[in-house]
């Protein structure tokens, strides 16, 4: 099982795209995405300094463009990816990269959304003095309790021993004076408290734009930052991308879902290294590949050959299949079980785990062809539950 991951803000470094610009096809595509984004991504990816790259309005479009073009270099014919990649995931803004890579939105739509996302988040950050600090080590319960005591949000939960606190500068100063036991603090060079309530104004702006975006069901399952659930319905994915701006990134749950899927290989697209580093510590025994430069492409393709098995979505289109969003026990809704025709959005049951219960709906509705699980069956993320035939389709 192969999972492709896309990094978030902070992964960029000065000149990281310089070696890629020697490829005429890559360079041409980057010029095109620069025009879409209204930014000179070529300059920012090759000569801009670290201070310039820290600007949210620059970093976010640059990261999405780099990830998409790196994916295209790896899979020159995108359809090849649909038969090889089991799932995709992106950290923070990297979710836009993942959504476009899974063909839920186009590359151009992703660049417009990320351009406006970066501008809106920079504007929201300017209204109040806020920031973020990485909390490394310590006992998880103590870390979270300490953040709560200081009024801070765990904006990024990246796995064991890696939590990022976000809030006002006063709250972060209080954390510095009273840190969790056995933890090390590392202030981050970011413009504000991303993935917190401080970003609420940005959510409204991006939501208004997203309402006009034509979206498709992803061709590859997307693992959501919000809860680690598998998302296979396009409109749901787009809504999550918007809401994610002001709510925490649960990368720890994304990693849990990758483990539940049986991942054997994780490949990170440019600028790679951050997420594969986390995976090495959190998913022992899973092979990783950080694609940083074009001279690694042959080795990256070998990596794909070793781990790529594709997903059920390639042979069972999402428009006629309802799948489990998470690992747990499936309990069927009795009313839905007795119906031959289901309306769009109707609840067909729920997946229960030790953590919670997740309602499962039929996004598109249609004629029931067959149930693929029984009440009380254990299910895994992305497992087909119900096959539907859309109304009006022969």
CA angle centred on 276, ends 274 and 282, rounded to 5°: 110
Residue of 34, 92, 311, 324 marked active site: 92
Residue of 44, 150, 195, 198 marked active site: 195
Q: How, if at all, do strands 162-168 and 287-290 pair? A: unpaired
- Burial environment of residue 40 by CB neighbours within 10 A (0 to 12, 13 to 18, 19 or more): middle
Q: Which two tokens stand for residue 262?
A: 């049986």
Question: What DSSP character marks residue 358?
Answer: E
Q: Can 352 be counted among the known catalytic residues? A: no
Q: Which two tokens stand for residue 284?
A: 């022992």
**CB 166, CB 152: distance < 8 Å:** yes
List all residues 6 or more positions away from 218 whose beta carbon is below 8 Å from its beta carbon.
Answer: 88, 99, 102, 103, 104, 231, 232, 234, 237, 313, 318
Q: Which two tokens stand for residue 145?
A: 């309790």
Q: Can 48 be counted among the known catalytic residues? A: no
Q: Phi first, then psi: what are they for 46, rounded to 5°?
A: -120, -40
Q: What Rg, from alpha-carbon coordinates, does the chain have? A: 21
Q: Which two tokens stand for residue 388?
A: 């539907």
Q: Which two tokens stand for residue 199?
A: 């970003």
Q: How, if at all, do strands 265-268 and 287-290 pair? A: parallel
Which conformational region is residue 376 in: left (phi greater than 0), alpha (psi within -120 to 50 degrees), or beta?
A: left
CA angle centred on 247, ends 242 and 249, rounded to 5°: 100
Catalytic residues: 92, 195
């Amino acid at each position: 099982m192969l999972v492709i991951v896309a990094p978030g803000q902070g992964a960029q470094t000065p000149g990281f795209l310089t070696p890629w610009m020697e490829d005429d096809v890559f360079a041409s595509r980057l010029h095109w995405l620069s025009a879409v984004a209204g930014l000179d991504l070529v300059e920012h990816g090759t000569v801009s300094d670290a201070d310039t790259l820290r600007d949210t309005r620059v970093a976010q479009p640059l990261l999405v463009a780099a990830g998409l073009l790196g994916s295209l270099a790896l899979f020159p014919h995108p359809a090849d990816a649909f038969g090889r990649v089991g799932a995709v995931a992106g950290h923070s803004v990297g979710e836009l990269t993942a959504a476009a890579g899974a063909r839920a939105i186009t590359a151009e739509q992703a660049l417009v959304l990320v351009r406006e996302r970066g501008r809106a988040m920079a504007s929201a950050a300017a209204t109040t003095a806020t920031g973020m600090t990485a909390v490394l080590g310590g006992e998880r319960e103590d870390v979270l309790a300490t953040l709560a005591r200081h009024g801070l949000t765990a904006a990024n939960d990246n796995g064991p021993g890696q939590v990022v606190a976000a809030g006002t500068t006063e709250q972060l100063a209080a954390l510095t004076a009273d840190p969790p036991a056995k933890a090390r603090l590392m202030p981050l060079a970011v413009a504000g408290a991303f993935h917190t309530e401080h970003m609420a104004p940005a959510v409204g702006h991006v939501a208004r734009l997203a309402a006009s975006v034509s979206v498709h069901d992803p061709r590859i399952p997307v693992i959501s930052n919000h809860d680690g659930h598998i998302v296979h319905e396009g409109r749901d994915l787009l809504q999550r991308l918007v809401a994610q701006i002001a709510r925490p990134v649960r990368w720890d749950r994304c990693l849990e879902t990758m483990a539940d899927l049986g991942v054997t290989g994780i490949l990170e697209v440019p600028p790679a290294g951050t997420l594969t580093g986390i995976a090495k510590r959190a998913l022992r025994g899973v092979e990783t590949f950080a694609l940083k430069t074009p001279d690694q492409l042959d080795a990256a393709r070998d990596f794909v050959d070793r781990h790529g098995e594709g997903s059920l979505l390639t042979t069972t289109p999402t428009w006629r299949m309802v799948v489990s969003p998470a690992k747990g026990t499936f309990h069927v809704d009795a009313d839905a079980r007795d119906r031959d025709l289901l309306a769009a959005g109707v609840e067909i049951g729920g997946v229960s785990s030790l953590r919670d219960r997740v309602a499962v709906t039929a996004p598109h509705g249609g004629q029931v062809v067959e149930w693929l699980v029984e009440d009380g069956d254990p299910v895994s993320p992305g497992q087909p539950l119900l096959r539907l035939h859309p109304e009006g389709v022969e």
